[in-house]
Amino acid sequence: MVGSYLRITILFVALLILSGCRPDGDVLVLRLGHGLDSSHPVHVGMERMAELVSQKSDGSMRIDIYPNEQLGTERETLELLQIGSLDITKVSAAVIESFTSVYSIFSVPFLFVNDEHMYSILDGPIGRRILDASEPYRIVGLCYYDAGTRSFYTTNRPVHTPEDLQGLSIRVQESPSAIQMVNILGGSATPISWGELYTALQQGVVDGAENNPPSFYLSRHYEVSKYYSLNEHTAVPDILVISRHTWEQVLNEEQRAIIQEAALESVPYQRELWEEASEAALKAVQEAGVEVIYPDRIPFMEASEPFYERMRTRQPELYKLYLEIQELGNEFID
């Protein structure tokens, strides 16, 4: 705990130093920190958003992007965002649920029928309602980026059924829902930060993890995890958020409109990148010797039943939202 506080303090001081550079002549500079590699399609999507902000503001606004956890882990950047020491960050919905519980809906196994169903939710009233729920916690939601579907990858043995997860320590994000989901499916959930995961896999601290194809590939986790089982248990989007302090105290109405428009306009571009990156990542890891497995998803769905029952009895409001999303998915079933 002391180490965590020390890291936050160091990051806070560093950002105070950076904040002195915010006005760059007549240009308003906003800082965006996140944990992904600069070649990741979500990072490229944010670059597109930054370009649009510059264009729409006639160069009077600029977004400087700091990838690779330069400004902290996802949880740390959210905490810095809340106190106004960082302007914008990108986090997984699984991480932000610890700050705004409604985001845990995205960690519900097999929530969406298909991509079209998912996009209709994210781009519609339900998606906006979820983004707006974080404002009381000093976090303003801007948009969702596609982060594909999450599947299991392991170092020493393949996963064909939920029974194959028995006895395996599986890295998850710092998300109560993700922990619960993996434990219900039979694994032993182990929260570890993204930046520490490669070493944890290499040293056997964990037996595997779960993530989407581009992240599996770009993190080079395929070098130590030779089995990738595409059971696609969750579709957890990435969320672009801005500090409420920045939103209300730094930006005027016109600037807020520019940032919101740019964020939303970058979404279709990012989704195209995501589809291309997913296909390329699967091909690349197979060429590197990874066994890509396409298991029957039905046993995983059946094994998830206790998750839904637990949600029904312990989180009735979330369960109500789950049923609402499920009902809207009926029109997307072939």
The model's pTM is 0.90
Residues 51-61, buried b or exposed e (16+ Cβ, 10 A)? ebbbebbeeeb
Name residue 334's amino acid.
D
**126/298 Cα distance (integer angstroms):** 27
For 108, which DSSP code? S
How confident is the model over 129-176, as pLDDT tens digits?
999 999 999 999 999 999 999 999 999 999 999 999 999 999 999 889
What's the pLDDT at 7? 56
Tokens read off for 329: 């998915």
Q: What is the pLDDT of residue 25?
A: 67
Residue 2, helix vs strand vs coil? helix
Those residues of the chain that have pLDDT short of 70 are: 1-25
Element (H, E) at 147: none
What domains are there in the chain, each with its CATH number? 2-103+114-147+237-276 (3.40.190.170), 150-235+280-332 (3.40.190.170)
In angstroms, rounded to a whole number, what is the distance separating the alpha carbons of residues 48 and 263?
A: 9
The sign of the torsion formed by the CA atoms of 18, 146, 214, 170 equals positive
